[in-house]
């Protein structure tokens, strides 16, 4: 199969906090030929980074809780337990954003990072890709408040034992994609990471 796409028209239908474009297109079919004309809306200009903050000496993770409009009226409520993260502007790298957001949202200086991976969040409706990291930090006190006023952020830090945080995947409290993936990765890599990062404590 020759995978081809023909864009017939593209129009911006909304340009605010997010930009949404509407496409009229046709694409190749597995059975041969070309599809009928399809109309699809896509959220544009999204690139993100997130980082799971891990303290290997205390064997704990630093997570944040904040309001999320997407969770309003669904599940357990609009305040989610998450990893630190943010959108990546063109002039910054994903790792630089992850390090900056760790300080802004949790008051943590990231001493080392390890790349977890990169993936599309919702390719049926959005271009958004996210790069995930794990970062070595010294855990702050739980309950501290952070966030930027001009971005409308109201963020509470929560420090959990690594095993307790991993268990929250199965209780339903951890219920966002990036938090689930990073904690599952930590469960698989925790012993290796703890041995390596504990040995390098103080070397920044």
Active site residues per annotation: 151
State the Cα–Cα distance between residues 37 and 23, nearest whole angstrom: 10
Query: Tokens representing 34?
Result: 């070309």
DSSP calls for 31-92: TSSBPPPEEEEEEES-EEEEEEEEETTTTEEEEEEEE-GGGTTSTT-SEEEE-EEEE--TTS
Query: Tokens representing 138?
Result: 């010294």
State the Cα–Cα distance between residues 174 and 75, nearest whole angstrom: 11
Kindly give, in sequence order, each residue whose CB lies less than 8 Å from that of residue 78, ignoring residues fewer than 6 positions away.
67, 68, 69, 71, 72
DSSP state of 195: H
């Amino acid at each position: 199969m020759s995978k081809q796409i023909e864009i017939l028209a593209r129009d911006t239908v909304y340009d605010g906090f997010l930009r949404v474009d509407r496409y009229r297109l046709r694409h190749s079919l597995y059975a041969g030929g070309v599809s009928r004309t399809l109309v699809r809306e896509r959220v544009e200009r999204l690139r993100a980074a997130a980082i799971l903050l891990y303290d290997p000496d205390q064997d704990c993770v630093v997570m944040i809780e904040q309001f999320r409009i997407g969770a309003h009226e669904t599940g357990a409520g609009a305040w989610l337990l998450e990893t630190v993260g943010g959108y990546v502007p063109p002039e910054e790298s994903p790792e630089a954003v992850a390090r900056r957001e760790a300080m802004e949202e949790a008051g943590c200086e990231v001493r080392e990072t390890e790349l977890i991976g990169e993936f599309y969040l919702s390719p049926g409706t959005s271009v958004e890709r996210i790069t995930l990291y794990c970062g070595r930090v010294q855990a702050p006190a739980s309950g501290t408040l952070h966030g930027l006023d001009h971005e409308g952020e109201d963020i509470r830090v929560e420090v959990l034992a690594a095993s307790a945080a991993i268990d929250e995947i199965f209780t339903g409290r951890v219920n966002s994609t990036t938090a689930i993936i990073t904690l599952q990765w930590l469960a698989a890599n925790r012993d290796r990471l703890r041995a390596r990062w504990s040995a390098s404590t103080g070397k920044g």
